[in-house]
Amino acid sequence: MVESSQSTLKRTHIILVALLILLSVLNNFSLAIASLGFLSIFIVLINALYYPFLHQLYGGALPRTIFRILAVGALLIGAYIIGLVNSGFDQRAWIVVCELILLLSLLLSISIIKWSIRALKMFGVMFSAFIIFTGLLYVGLPSNVLSGLVNKNTIGGFIAFLSFWPIASYLSSDKPIEKRKWFIINIIILGIIYLIGARSTWLALAGAAITYLAWPIIKRSKFRYRAWIFLVLCLMALFLNFYLQLSTMPIVRELDRIILEYTGRRLYSGRQYLWPPIIEAIKEKPLFGYGASATPSLFLPTGLSSHNLYLQIAIQVGTLGLLFFVILIWVLWNCFWKGRDNKIVRLSAAFMVAILIHQLFEVSLTQNNLSIGILQWMIIGQGISFSIGSKIPILHKNHSSLCNVS
C-alpha cells in the first residue's frame, strides 16, 4: 500500500512538472495569461534548488562528474558577478545572475536524479499531445492571428526541444506495436516543426540528426569523441563569419530579393545588421564586457537581444565569461562519455549539438527565453543522469535496458 502511494505520488510529480513546463511557454505570449507562464518558470526553477539537498541527504557526496560541472559553473557565475558589479548592481543585472544560478541548479538537479524510462515516456505522451494540438492550431487559425500571439521562432524552438521526449519514447520502446505508434507520432511532430517554419530549429535538428547518425564513429575513441564537439564549435564560429560575409555580397542580396518576392520570406533574418555592431562593441571591451545587464540597446536603437547566445555572453561578461561557458560545454560533453552506449545518452548528446547550434540564432540557455532554456537544460541533465547514474530514483526503473547500442 505504501509503495503504491509513493508510486502515485511520483507519477503525480512527473505530471505536474510536465504541466509546468508546458505552461511556461505562455510567458512568451502577448496575452494577460503570460504571467501564468512566468509563474510556472519560477516554480520549476525554485524547486530545482531542492534536489541537490535531497541528494546530500540520501546519496552522500556528489559524484566527481557533477562536482566538475559545479566547479566550472561557479567560475561562470563568478564572471557574471563581476558583470553585476560592472552594471552598477542594477535590477536587470541581478535578474540575469539569479537566472543563471537557478538554471545551473536545474541542470545539477536533473543530473543527480535517476530518471526511469517510464518517466520519460510520461513526458513523451504529454508533450506529444501538446505538440499535435499546437499543430492543429497552426492549421486552423489565420497566420496573422498566430503571429500576433507568439513569435514563430519561440514556439518552433519550444516544440523542437519538446520532441526529445517523443523520440526518446520511440527509442526506448521494445514492443513492435508501441514502436510503430511512436514512429508515427514523431513523423507528425517533424511535420509540425516543418510547418511552423522556424529555420533556426531546422538547422539545429539537422545538427542533431548528423550527430546521432555519426555516433558509432564518434564514440570509437575518446579522441574522436572530443574532436567532434571541438569541430562543432569551430564550424559554428566559421558559420557566423561566413554568414556575415555572404550578406554583403550583391548576388546574395539579389537572391534575397527574389526569394522574398516569390515566397514572402527573406533569405536573411536581419541578424546580419544586428551582429556586426555587437562584434565591434565586444572588441572595445574584450575581457570583462559591459556588465551583466548589457544588451544591444547600448549600441543600437533596438530592444532586441543579440539573437546569439555567444555574442550576448561576450557583451555582458567578455571573452573571459565566454571562455568559462565554452569550458562548461566541454565538461558537459565529457559527461556523456561514460554512457556512450546508452540510447538516451546518444540522443541527449545529439540534442546538445542542436542546442549549441540553436543558440547561434537565439538566446535561451542562460537568460531571456527561459521556457526553451528549461527544456534544453533538462535534455542535457537527463543525458548526464543516464550516463553516470544517481541515487535518487524517479519511478523505479533502471537504465540497463537501453545500453549496448551501436
What does the pLDDT read at residue 403?
A: 38
Highest mean pLDDT among 36-45, 118-127, 388-397: 118-127
For residue 242, what is its C-alpha cell?
561566413
CA distances from 130 to 27, 190, 355 (A): 16, 14, 21
Please determine, for residue 46, whether its predicted confidence score (pLDDT) is greater than 80: yes
Mean pLDDT of 22-35: 80
Please determine, for residue 376, whether its predicted confidence score (pLDDT) is greater than 70: yes
For residue 377, what is its C-alpha cell?
537544460
Which of 374, 394, 376 lies closest to 40 in space, CA to CA?
374
- Which one-letter DSSP state was computed for residue 265? S
What does the pLDDT read at residue 75?
A: 95
What residues does each domain of the chain span?
2-399
What is the residue type of 285? Answer: K
What does the pLDDT read at residue 253?
A: 67
**Structure confidence at residue 107 as a pLDDT band (50, 70, 90):** very high
- Tell me if 294 sits within 8 A of 87, measured CB to CB: yes
For residue 193, what is its C-alpha cell?
516543426
385 vs 273, more confident: 385
- Give the pLDDT confidence of 355-369 residue by residue, as tens digits: 999 999 999 999 888
83 vs 49, more confident: 83
Query: What is the sign of the dihedral through the CA atoms of 15, 17, 19 and 21?
Result: negative
**Structure confidence at residue 399 as a pLDDT band (50, 70, 90):** very low
User: What is the b/e burial string over 125-156, where b = at least 16 CB atoms within 10 angstroms of the residue's CB?
Assistant: bbbbebbeebbeebeeeeeeebeeebebbbbb
State the Cα–Cα distance between residues 386 and 124, nearest whole angstrom. 17
Give the 3-state secondary structure of residue 368: coil
Helices (H), 285-340: 309-335
Burial (CB < 10 A; 0-12, 13-18, 19+), residue 75, is middle
Highest mean pLDDT among 31-35, 90-94, 328-332: 328-332
Q: Please tell me the least confidently modeled range out of 125-134, 191-200, 358-367.
A: 191-200
Please determine, for residue 2, whether its predicted confidence score (pLDDT) is greater than 90: no
Mean pLDDT of 143-153: 67
CB atoms within 10 A of CB 46: 12
Mention every residue, 6+ apart, whose C-beta is less than 8 A from residue 46: 102
Highest mean pLDDT among 261-265, 372-376, 389-393: 372-376
**Structure confidence at residue 148 as a pLDDT band (50, 70, 90):** low
Give the 3-state secondary structure of residue 363: coil
